[in-house]
Structure 1
Amino acid sequence: MLLKLLLLLCGQPCEPTGVPVYNVSLATQPPGGHVMEGEKLALVCVATGGTGDITFRWYRGALGLNLGAKTQPSLTAAFEIPAVSEQDTEAYYCAADNGYGPSLSGLVSIAVRIPVSQPVLTSRAPRAPPVVGDAVELHCEAGSGSPPIRYQFFLEDVPLGSSSAPFGGGASLNLSLTSEHCGNYSCEADNGRRAPRSEPVPLCVAVPAADRESPTPPILEGLLGGFGLTVMALFFCCWLKRKVGRRPAKDPPRSPPSPPPREFTYVNATAPVQQQPLYENVNVVSGGEVYSLVYHMQQERRSAAAPSLRTQTQDKDPSAIYSGVKTASSSDDDYEDAI
């Protein structure tokens, strides 16, 4: 009876005594499903539970292209792509099986991003060269790169502002120019991996002549104004004094009225002889020079009654000419000033 019972129990099929794999998921490294072209991508398959050796398999795309498989006594396994390319942008999933049948993960999309190339900066101004107050547009654009792209603008190494291109392409920054906006401009493009900078673009701002002249401080301007008035007054006084003291050149010279010729009395002379002028000129007073009349006087016989006069003239040459020089007096100066 006991033997029949043992044979009955052994005749039934024996089932495995382990725990099936369950709750399988796929993670990526770097996380988030975003990876730059050329970087390493790791697909990590994780099971929450299961016993024994587990076989992990990875698949690509909706058609389930098998990428590889690993068997190990672990709940986690990873498959690596050493350097991804743009063609690796796809959906991925994995499966884990420890003999009870495969357990599948959900789909995970991987986006392979293209790094930005070196951007090019251009400036657009209403005139060349631009002047203070003009609106200038700075446009920065990278030839390649996955969006979104963030552009940063610089004057020398000083940030001016930033702008984003969420769908690719370039971005612009508008500036109202001042006198301080003269120098080398550049821009950077960044989409997550690196931020190359453009070549510098020089931009010089023309300053109007009125702005280049430094304004005179009010105090200095007042001092200069008062000094200028003083100098002008001094010049006017000097000019007026010289104007009064000098006769204009166009006025003809005038001479004061000549005094009547002086008459000489001769003792015992028969009759006075008419004076015959040898030189005659008009008395002209010009500055300190005085011109006078010169007369030649013929002497008569002197009477014996005037011995002293005869004695005084005996030693003199009878042909000598004597004249009186009239010098300019204060009355003449007054007369000239009156003219």
Structure 2
Amino acid sequence: MLLWLLLVIFALVSEQRDSRTLLAPSSVYEGDSITLTCYGENLKIKTVTYYKDTKKLNLSKGVLRFSIPRAVLSDSGNYYCTVTEKRLWWWTKTSKTVKIKVQELFQHPVLTASSFQPTEGVPVTLTCETRLSPQRSNIQLQFCFFRDSHALGSGWSSSPELQIPAIWSEDAGYYWCEAETVTNKVRKQSFQSQIHVQRVPISNVSLETRAPGGQVIEGGELVLLCSVAEGTGNITFSWHREVTGTSLGKKTQRSLSAELEIPVVKESDAGEYYCRADNGHNPIQSEVMNIPVKIPVSCPILTLRAPKAQAVVGDVVELHCESLRGSPPILYRFYHKNITLGNSSAPSGGGTSFNLFLTAELSGNYSCEADNGLEVQRSEAVPLSISGSGGYRRDLVTARALGGLFGVLGFIGAAFLFYCWSHKISGESSATNAPRGASSPNLQEFTHSSPLPAMEELQPVYVNVDSVGVDVVYSQVWSNEQPGDSANTGRTFLENKDFQVIYSSVKKS
């Protein structure tokens, strides 16, 4: 009887262990769902318990299934279940063990960079490298990159690469990436990698000017351009006056150059300038640059300076034109009724003059113009009235005509007298050389052949030669005397033949 009882108990225990079956999927990948089902006789079940590696997973009343929504690698292990059910009494039955291995869907990503020690300003490419399982190669992945817990770019993307156009010192830090399936949301993260960004010091700072027409003109615009040949990161540019050293402005930007604009230039802005650049290393200063400011000419002032209060024909009038402001050289032009009279240059600035000999036609308005290449300004018109122009001109013309006429007549008269005098001397020489045997009546006949009136014989005769147009007057003077008796005629005439005298005197104006 005891033996039969032991056999019955052993059979019940064997039935308890073999009457339950645990169903599980044969192939499991990350992200797959796992459902465990404990099968057996449809008896009244009190409890079902699932175990993984002898560790209780869940305890539910009357539930034959246990699910894992998304499997992970750590879900791999040995699973079984136990069921407590009622027959004659409460029996506990245990299923066989089922081994489940969760396979990797894709490898853990690895972050790579084109350079982990880049120089500021250069581009950097980050890559999130991974590989799908050959059995699940159709799975779609998306990627995201991070720096110091901040997502980079636009967030999740289907591309495993991220382009950083230019990396700077503030971009240094720890980087990593994540890869995730589009479905089932299996996500994996790479290890963190540190990127060190190297900064390039500043070198060769220079200052340049930009102005319309290439010249800095008062009232115009001036741009001061400060630039560096090398230097990375945020660079702080500043502009200074050499005399005071004060800063005119400051800009910080990620660029190799910066501009400072002076919209309206004043004359006081002329002087020496320099700029500085600093990107965290030692600040570098440019060479000092002298910037001259050109000043357009102001409206000139025309002044007429005459020798008398009332200008008359024949006067010399000085036209003085001057601009009070303006960079030299200045060219002045003088006008009479908009007709150019002449021009004069002032190389060092200031004013200049133009002398004008007045004629009757020069009455009217006068003006002048100043031009220094930057601007042309014209003065206001100044009137000039010339008096006594008609009578004076007629008298001057008449005097010149009469002077010319008298000069011609005087020259002709002098020539005639010289001819007569030469002829007379010729006759006297013939009488003197007559033969000794000649009779006296011939001599008397010569003497009386050309008698002169009594008035002409008693008074000297004056003839002025070429008295017009020169400062010396030449005169011929001679006298004729009637002899007292015929016996002495020849002797007296011969003795007085040299009485002709030529005098000269200097005219005084």
Q: Is contact 1:58-1:93 (8 Å) kept?
A: yes
Residues 1:93 and 2:274 are matched in the alignment: yes
Match of 1:36? 217
Residues 1:69 and 2:265 are matched in the alignment: no
Q: 2:391 aligns with which of 209, 213, 222?
A: 209
Structure 1: segments with no counterpart, 5+ residues: 1-13, 216-339
Q: 2:336 aligns with which of 155, 162, 179?
A: 155
- Tell me how far apart the structure 1 counterparts of residues 237 and 212 of structure 2 sit (CA, whole Å): 20
Q: 1:197 aligns with which of 378, 392, 397?
A: 378
The letter for the 2-side match of 1:39 is: G
Q: Deviations over 1:120-140 (max 9, x none)?
A: 211112245434443221001
Q: Is contact 1:131-1:208 (8 Å) kept?
A: no
Larger radius of gyration: 2
SS in 2 for 1:28: strand
- Tell me how far apart the structure 2 counterparts of residues 64 and 33 of structure 1 sit (CA, whole Å): 26
> Structure 1-normalised TM-score?
0.50
- Tell me how far apart the structure 2 counterparts of residues 35 and 98 of structure 1 sit (CA, whole Å): 31
Using a 3 Å threshold, how does the CA distance of structure 1 residues 32 and 97 change in structure 2: closer, same or farther?
farther
- Tell me how far apart the structure 2 counterparts of residues 63 and 140 of structure 1 sit (CA, whole Å): 38
- Tell me how far apart the structure 2 counterparts of residues 179 and 21 of structure 1 sit (CA, whole Å): 76
SS in 2 for 1:196: strand
Match of 2:305? 124
Match of 1:175? 356
The letter for the 2-side match of 1:105 is: S
What is the root-mean-square deviation of aligned Cα atoms in Å?
A: 3.4
Match of 1:102? 283
- Tell me how far apart the structure 1 counterparts of residues 380 and 325 of structure 2 sit (CA, whole Å): 16
- Tell me how far apart the structure 2 counterparts of residues 19 and 181 of structure 1 sit (CA, whole Å): 76
What does residue range 1-339 of structure 1 map to in structure 2 within 5 Å?
17-30=198-211, 35-206=216-387, 207-209=389-391, 211=393
Q: Is contact 1:33-1:111 (8 Å) kept?
A: no
Match of 1:300? none
Q: Deviations over 1:39-93 (max 9, x none)?
A: 3222111323434443211111244211221122332211012223333233110
- Tell me how far apart the structure 2 counterparts of residues 152 and 139 of structure 1 sit (CA, whole Å): 11
Match of 2:78? none
The letter for the 2-side match of 1:209 is: G
Q: Deviations over 1:277-328 (max 9, x none)?
A: xxxxxxxxxxxxxxxxxxxxxxxxxxxxxxxxxxxxxxxxxxxxxxxxxxxx
Q: Percent identity?
A: 55
Structure 2: segments with no counterpart, 5+ residues: 1-194, 398-509
**Using CA pairs below 8 Å that are at least 6 residues apart, which structure has the higher relative contact order?**
1
SS in 1 for 2:277: strand
Q: Is contact 1:186-1:197 (8 Å) kept?
A: yes
Q: Is contact 1:21-1:51 (8 Å) kept?
A: yes
> Structure 2-normalised TM-score?
0.35
Q: Deviations over 1:209-258 (max 9, x none)?
A: 36469x9xxxxxxxxxxxxxxxxxxxxxxxxxxxxxxxxxxxxxxxxxxx
The letter for the 1-side match of 2:258 is: A
- Tell me how far apart the structure 1 counterparts of residues 284 and 341 of structure 2 sit (CA, whole Å): 55
SS in 2 for 1:209: helix
Q: Tell me how far 1:141 sits from its aligned partner.
A: 2.0
Q: Is contact 1:33-1:108 (8 Å) kept?
A: no
- Tell me how far apart the structure 2 counterparts of residues 59 and 38 of structure 1 sit (CA, whole Å): 21
Using a 3 Å threshold, how does the CA distance of structure 1 residues 85 and 209 change in structure 2: closer, same or farther?
same
Higher strand share: 2
The letter for the 2-side match of 1:84 is: V
The letter for the 1-side match of 2:346 is: A
Q: Is contact 2:212-2:221 (8 Å) kept?
A: no
Q: Is contact 1:33-1:110 (8 Å) kept?
A: no
SS in 2 for 1:35: coil
Q: Deviations over 1:101-134 (max 9, x none)?
A: 3222111223344444322211112245434443
